[in-house]
């Protein structure tokens, strides 16, 4: 009897967890449709792959202190409204590619940014508040989780765009060998779905 009761309790916990997860983002099916039917094709585009691989090679020997220094510089520039580091990233071909994708989305994408194998920004459509994303779920639950990983975050109100959005993140792989090289995050304006 005790085992039967424990089984029922355990089943209830599993069902509750599954229901809570399903309700966490009511737009998840639509977001996954966008990811699978639009965004996945970009992830093997040379504009993205080559930029990520180049930054991975450039930053291969960078340690935590170096990354922290870059992140502090980025945050200071973001707070000041711009600077050489931000302008350098926004001026890259990959940033122009991502900006074009955002502008062509009819307001569905509120932001798009790509991260390297350390979680640092490679390119972006808009200025992010920080340069280092490696301490956040968008990178940890994708790049670190493997080549097929996807992370759909909860819907939140975004102060900068004054819209409700959810971020979807996915691992970027090298098409040559299928190994993870970075990650992409897209802000999805759920009001425009």
Separation between Cα atoms, residue 77 and residue 149, nearest integer Å: 32
Which pLDDT value is given to residue 113? 97
User: E strands, 89-162, where?
Assistant: 109-115, 121-124, 150-152, 156-158
Report pTM.
0.85
Domain 23-192 has CATH 3.30.450.20: yes
Q: Contact, 17 vs 143, CB < 8 A?
A: no
Element containing residue 46 per DSSP (H, E): helix 46-58
Separation between Cα atoms, residue 130 and residue 134, nearest integer Å: 10
Separation between Cα atoms, residue 61 and residue 184, nearest integer Å: 22
- Report the relative pairing of strands 109-115 and 121-124 from DSSP bridges: antiparallel
What's the maximum distance between 2 C-alpha atoms anywhere in the chain? Answer: 69
Mean per-residue pLDDT pooled into runs of 10, the chain (193 residues): 39 35 72 95 94 98 96 96 96 97 96 97 95 96 96 88 90 96 97 91
3-state secondary structure of 186: strand
Separation between Cα atoms, residue 38 and residue 44, nearest integer Å: 12
Q: Measuring CA to CA, which residue among 178, 173, 138, 186 is closest to residue 53?
A: 173
3-state secondary structure of 123: strand
Domain range list for the chain:
23-192
Which pLDDT value is given to residue 134? 94
């Amino acid at each position: 009897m005790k085992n039967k009761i424990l089984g029922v309790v355990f089943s209830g916990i599993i069902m509750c967890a599954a229901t809570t997860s399903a309700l966490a983002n009511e737009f998840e099916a639509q977001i996954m449709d966008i990811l699978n039917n639009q965004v996945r094709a970009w992830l093997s585009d040379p504009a993205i792959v080559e930029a990520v691989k180049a930054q991975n090679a450039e930053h291969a020997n960078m340690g935590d202190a170096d990354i922290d220094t870059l992140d502090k510089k980025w945050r200071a520039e973001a707070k000041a409204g711009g600077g050489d580091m931000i302008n350098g990233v926004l001026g890259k071909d990959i940033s122009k590619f991502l900006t074009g994708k955002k502008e062509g989305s009819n307001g569905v994408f509120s932001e798009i940014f790509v991260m390297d194998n350390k979680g640092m920004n490679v390119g972006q459509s808009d200025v992010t508040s920080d340069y280092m994303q490696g301490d956040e779920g968008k990178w940890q639950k994708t790049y670190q989780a493997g080549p097929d990983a996807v992370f759909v975050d909860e819907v939140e109100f975004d102060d900068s765009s004054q819209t409700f959005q959810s971020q979807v993140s996915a691992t970027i792989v090298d098409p040559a060998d299928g190994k993870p090289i970075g990650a992409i995050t897209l802000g999805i304006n759920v009001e425009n779905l």
